[in-house]
Chain A
């Protein structure tokens, strides 16, 4: 009987959870019958842990009515997990962990919440294992206590051990100030694990609320940082501190909103409309990733024929070599089912990076974007490209590079900013990568940028040129000016004849073949098939020293 009561209680509690009916909750919590239950204590705590969700819903609705609500339009920590993971796949860890602080009245029972300010566990996304932690802003503002950090570390350790990605749903006000140094130690424990897991399992951060101070560094150490528009912020110090230190007037949104970080700073990789949109997109993104560095790039069922010809590519490059076109048109048309998950679409738009599938297999695509700044390489685009290339290399994702690059962007702004150092990163990343590398030169491949963009010389596996390709040190006009000091009238035509085409490079074996653009997809799919068994190694080293 008592057991039945417990079950009834449990069911009703879950019912309440799903309905978010707050009135019923308070009634249930004071249910006296539970007194008879032999498992009273754990059940009560478990229920309290669960009820937090409902309670937080209560709080949110309360806040919504008061205009001061900071967390309006947000889901609770558990609702987020519910949406992120497959139904019934979540196994929660450490629900009974409580914080250990006894100062400042924190030891009173009403200040103890089972599970503290984070929900952790593992589950499946479309059937594939993932470890998850979801910070709960309704418990002490999601602040990081020692116990909170310990819970996160536990799932990270296990994820690294079994080889599964870690997904963090960040919604934390920062350190638990009542705990002092214990909280800081907690941060450092997480940072260390972020670093140790880096390159072992993919780590993804989804910023779903304010995230300030020490809390920002964990997302910064992970492979991908996504944000939710209008409700999430990332900054070292908030607007008040900024005002007192630098006397700048700035809003939270301007300082560290999704727009700032996806378009200006490049801290975040993409932003989504709201919590639900973000979580659904994260599920989609997850499908592209291998589970760990020991896993090959995932292959999914593909209905798009690998030998599909793409006739529009024959005409995509304009006749005038100064006219722009959209590299995304090329990428969409060769990718399986035209699907492309772009990373950092609003930042350094002169380079396009992202994930797609070819014949079902995940590939990383890098392409110069002639539509923006002629597709030149500058500081931001080099860094954006380099980080993406290194991720793909670390996780066995083949790289496909589309080249239409007029060179590195000249000028004092770039030189003072260290374009040499930053450009070297992209060069370094491509040279170091041992995954299958396929390169297609669609039009310009000028100067040093030609070398950088996954050229044959940097261990490119298959390098192709379209008939429109121009592989040269520079454009004909500039070249003739240097060679002849402008004295030779016909020299420009001669230079164009000699270098504004793919033949000199093809004759030297620097491109493997000149291909009909419409056959690009066929060629890439065939190459990937062959290169699936590629093994390549670099000399032993502790680690390379990329020019940071």
Chain B
């Protein structure tokens, strides 16, 4: 029986071995299984390109035995940089700018508060062993420090088995700019320019680009040289990234060093022309670097969007799971690179990061790269799971982003009430409705046997709270659409089976994705990244719909539903308890993220439908209030 692999990279491999079931503790963190595979396949080298799961242990084991080469830096460099305290000390010694702070075991919340006051608010608290921005919390006062201490220490203990915490000065309005370094085993090291990764949500990167609009050549050189100094100080070999926070006066502070290939490495590859993975393999083999610092160019501009399976309307992205019922990468758009490991039919599970792909576009300048990104996002077909294309599409055309006026607070500043989808201007709105309306009209022509002579329709479109009367008339394959006294000419090939519909509205070409339609007139389309729910009815039906009864909606303030699929970590209430508005009711963990669920109103707990350890799906009832 032939069972085909689900993942693209598995399919591409000459030989693939399963290391274990989905939970990481049983597969990627299971050293025995991995050693077994290495033995069985007689592998010459091993790597964990993106994930830092294996980190220390694997390397120690490997180097002690077998003579298997690890593609990546040496153990001591990883160890030094994997530890926040040591990395900071090393950085200080290497004369790299660092942020004031404390790192070590914090006894209790009071001590945390004392330390925070010493540094001065605001401070940032996180587990020392945690990578990236994962589990990072920011405290502006004593109360928040206590809360942050509680979460971070829990997370430190449960996820990393390491109690140490990092508390340091939080830099307001910073940019996250990092320097790619490449070093060999012969003491050579290069800096491959910077990547700007300031667009983040919950301290995880969303949009990255290279180069940065913010750095001038001097700052760039200063940062690059400090990064190389640090790499040399730890005798680093292979590719690595030195992350900096840059404040508005271009002061930069060392944040941490990532001792692996990073998700956003393709943008550096695009502008420098180096293949970082190839270089890593060469370095591992013991070859010296082929390039000199002077050979490293900045050619053009590259932008990367991280396409996630998550709903951007819920705190800029809550994970979504499901099967990709349709999936089509926009590879027909020029200068587009898509790095992904999934295909149509793949499952997005709760076990890993919900990333679908990395979408990279390149151009001779930033405007060109961004223009291509717009096109690529419009042409990206993802069905079956929620995705963040709407957010990405909005970010890359936002005036602040286009001007390069960004910081790590970009998203909360631009969307203080959360992301709500495209905010369109009046002209667009009309375009959009006209564009939309032509397509349902097509359904009139695809009815069996129907030889309808009709050529004009009076329709009524409901979009959000607005109802727009629309007059459509047909002439050959083009439609004339009248919305609010504005007449537009819409032409297309009208292939309604294709997920992408290219239409020309008054001479402007637009790509629309038709997501779904039903007989009740509900039509969902994706236009400029955002999904719109339209209801398209004939004028008669629309007029009569006012007589239809309103269906009562469920009162959601007294019930708590899981906003996403995941596992219940803790439930802090029991039936009969009185809770106040905003009080934590339970904690759900999904995709390695802990989410605190709070009461929407003050009241008595009527029933608790979950317990710690339960797996819950999106929309599952957790707790009912009276």
A interface residue numbers (CB < 8 A to B):
60, 72-75, 79, 82-83, 86-87, 126-128, 230-231, 272-277, 280-281, 283-285, 287, 298-305, 311-316, 319, 329, 332-333, 336-338, 362, 467-468, 501
User: Closest CB of chain B to A328's CB: distance in Å?
Assistant: 10
Instruction: Please determine whether B447 and A303 come into contact, CB atoms closer than 8 angstroms.
Output: no
Instruction: Please determine whether A311 and B344 come into contact, CB atoms closer than 8 angstroms.
Output: yes
Find the A residue at minimum CB distance from B450: A127
Q: How far is the CA of A83 from the CA of B521 in the complex (A)?
A: 13
Q: How far is the CA of A60 from the CA of B519 in the complex (A)?
A: 27
Binds A, one of B100-108, B163-171, B545-553: B545-553
Instruction: Please determine whether A83 and B541 come into contact, CB atoms closer than 8 angstroms.
Output: yes
Residues of B near A60 (CB, < 8 A) are 547
Q: By CB atoms of chain B within 10 A, which of A280, A313, A319 has the most? A: A280
User: Closest CB of chain A to B211's CB: distance in Å?
Assistant: 38
Q: How far is the CA of A298 from the CA of B446 in the complex (A)?
A: 11
Q: How far is the CA of A267 from the CA of B244 in the complex (A)?
A: 68
4 other A-B residue contacts (CB within 8 Å) besides A83-B541, A305-B497: A79-B544, A280-B521, A281-B518, A311-B345
Find the B residue at minimum CB distance from A82: B540
Q: How far is the CA of A472 from the CA of B157 in the complex (A)?
A: 52
Given contacts A72-B549, A280-B519, A314-B4, whether A128 and B450 have CB atoms under 8 Å apart is yes
* Between-chain CB contacts (< 8 Å), 22 pairs: A60-B547, A75-B547, A83-B541, A126-B452, A127-B447, A128-B448, A272-B520, A274-B549, A276-B544, A280-B537, A302-B446, A303-B494, A303-B496, A304-B497, A305-B497, A311-B344, A312-B324, A315-B6, A316-B345, A332-B325, A333-B325, A468-B3
Q: Is B249 an interface residue (CB 8 A)?
A: no
Residues of B near A280 (CB, < 8 A) are 519-521, 537, 541
Q: How far is the CA of A86 from the CA of B450 in the complex (A)?
A: 11
* B495-539 near A? 1/0 per residue, CB < 8 Å: 111100000000000000000001111000000000000000100
Instruction: Please determine whether B445 and A301 come into contact, CB atoms closer than 8 angstroms.
Output: yes
Residues of B near A332 (CB, < 8 A) are 325
Instruction: Please determine whether B448 and A287 come into contact, CB atoms closer than 8 angstroms.
Output: yes
Find the A residue at minimum CB distance from B521: A280
Instruction: Please determine whether B345 and A315 come into contact, CB atoms closer than 8 angstroms.
Output: yes
Instruction: Please determine whether A83 and B325 come into contact, CB atoms closer than 8 angstroms.
Output: no
Residues of B near A315 (CB, < 8 A) are 4, 6, 345-346
Instruction: Please determine whether B541 and A276 come into contact, CB atoms closer than 8 angstroms.
Output: yes
Given contacts A277-B520, A312-B344, A467-B2, whether A337 and B497 have CB atoms under 8 Å apart is yes
Residues of B near A362 (CB, < 8 A) are 448
Q: How far is the CA of A472 from the CA of B65 in the complex (A)?
A: 50
Residues of B near A273 (CB, < 8 A) are 520, 551
Residues of A near B427 (CB, < 8 A) are none
8 Å CB contact of A312 from B325, B446, B451: B325
User: Closest CB of chain B to A1's CB: distance in Å?
Assistant: 33
Residues of B near A319 (CB, < 8 A) are 3
Residues of A near B450 (CB, < 8 A) are 126-128, 300
Size category of the B interface is: 35 or more
Q: Is B323 an interface residue (CB 8 A)?
A: yes
Q: Is B294 an interface residue (CB 8 A)?
A: no
Q: How far is the CA of A126 from the CA of B538 in the complex (A)?
A: 13
8 Å CB contact of B444 from A126, A302, A468: A126
Residues of B near A281 (CB, < 8 A) are 518-520
Q: How far is the CA of A299 from the CA of B448 in the complex (A)?
A: 5
Instruction: Please determine whether B540 and A83 come into contact, CB atoms closer than 8 angstroms.
Output: yes
Residues of A near B449 (CB, < 8 A) are 127-128, 298, 300
* B479-504 near A? 1/0 per residue, CB < 8 Å: 00000000000000011111000000
Residues of A near B3 (CB, < 8 A) are 319, 468
Q: How far is the CA of A287 from the CA of B519 in the complex (A)?
A: 11
Find the A residue at minimum CB distance from B542: A276
User: Closest CB of chain B to A435's CB: distance in Å?
Assistant: 17
Residues of A near B344 (CB, < 8 A) are 311-312
Instruction: Please determine whether B444 and A73 come into contact, CB atoms closer than 8 angstroms.
Output: no
Find the B residue at minimum CB distance from A72: B549
Q: How far is the CA of A332 from the CA of B451 in the complex (A)?
A: 28
User: Closest CB of chain B to A76's CB: distance in Å?
Assistant: 9
Q: Is B343 an interface residue (CB 8 A)?
A: yes
Find the B residue at minimum CB distance from A127: B450
User: Closest CB of chain B to A470's CB: distance in Å?
Assistant: 10
Q: How far is the CA of A536 from the CA of B495 in the complex (A)?
A: 37
Find the B residue at minimum CB distance from A272: B520
Residues of A near B325 (CB, < 8 A) are 312, 329, 332-333, 338
User: Closest CB of chain B to A370's CB: distance in Å?
Assistant: 14
8 Å CB contact of A127 from B4, B343, B451: B451
Find the A residue at minimum CB distance from B3: A319
8 cross-chain pairs, A with B, having the tightest CB-CB distances, nearest first: A312-B345, A73-B549, A298-B448, A284-B519, A127-B450, A304-B497, A126-B447, A303-B497
Residues of A near B323 (CB, < 8 A) are 312, 329
Given contacts A315-B346, A467-B1, whether A301 and B446 have CB atoms under 8 Å apart is yes
User: Closest CB of chain A to B506's CB: distance in Å?
Assistant: 25
Q: How far is the CA of A112 from the CA of B607 in the complex (A)?
A: 58
Q: How far is the CA of A86 from the CA of B457 in the complex (A)?
A: 12
Instruction: Please determine whether B446 and A300 come into contact, CB atoms closer than 8 angstroms.
Output: yes
8 Å CB contact of B544 from A83, A86, A128, A285: A83
Residues of A near B541 (CB, < 8 A) are 83, 276, 280
Q: How far is the CA of A332 from the CA of B383 in the complex (A)?
A: 13
Q: How far is the CA of A231 from the CA of B548 in the complex (A)?
A: 11
Instruction: Please determine whether A230 and B549 come into contact, CB atoms closer than 8 angstroms.
Output: yes
* B391-441, CB < 8 A from A: none
Given contacts A230-B549, A274-B548, A277-B520, whether A468 and B1 have CB atoms under 8 Å apart is yes
Q: How far is the CA of A472 from the CA of B617 in the complex (A)?
A: 35
Instruction: Please determine whether A276 and B548 come into contact, CB atoms closer than 8 angstroms.
Output: yes
Q: How far is the CA of A501 from the CA of B6 in the complex (A)?
A: 21
Q: How far is the CA of A479 from the CA of B462 in the complex (A)?
A: 59
Q: How far is the CA of A127 from the CA of B498 in the complex (A)?
A: 26
Q: How far is the CA of A192 from the CA of B344 in the complex (A)?
A: 52
User: Closest CB of chain A to B498's CB: distance in Å?
Assistant: 7
Instruction: Please determine whether A303 and B540 come into contact, CB atoms closer than 8 angstroms.
Output: no
User: Closest CB of chain A to B607's CB: distance in Å?
Assistant: 23
Residues of A near B496 (CB, < 8 A) are 303, 337
Residues of B near A302 (CB, < 8 A) are 446, 497
Q: How far is the CA of A274 from the CA of B547 in the complex (A)?
A: 10
User: Closest CB of chain B to A365's CB: distance in Å?
Assistant: 17
Given contacts A72-B549, A314-B345, A467-B1, whether A336 and B540 have CB atoms under 8 Å apart is no
Instruction: Please determine whether B345 and A501 come into contact, CB atoms closer than 8 angstroms.
Output: no
Instruction: Please determine whether B495 and A303 come into contact, CB atoms closer than 8 angstroms.
Output: yes
User: Closest CB of chain B to A138's CB: distance in Å?
Assistant: 14
Find the A residue at minimum CB distance from B549: A73
Q: How far is the CA of A333 from the CA of B325 in the complex (A)?
A: 8
Residues of B near A283 (CB, < 8 A) are 519
Find the B residue at minimum CB distance from A128: B449
Q: How far is the CA of A314 from the CA of B4 in the complex (A)?
A: 7
Q: How far is the CA of A311 from the CA of B548 in the complex (A)?
A: 43
Q: How far is the CA of A509 from the CA of B348 in the complex (A)?
A: 39
Instruction: Please determine whether B345 and A313 come into contact, CB atoms closer than 8 angstroms.
Output: yes
Find the A residue at minimum CB distance from B494: A303
Q: By CB atoms of chain B within 10 A, which of A79, A299, A314, A332 has the most? A: A314
* B64-97, CB < 8 A from A: none
Q: How far is the CA of A336 from the CA of B1 in the complex (A)?
A: 29
Residues of A near B2 (CB, < 8 A) are 467
Q: By CB atoms of chain A within 10 A, which of B2, B325, B446 has the most? A: B446
8 Å CB contact of A73 from B324, B448, B548: B548
Instruction: Please determine whether A501 and B519 come into contact, CB atoms closer than 8 angstroms.
Output: no
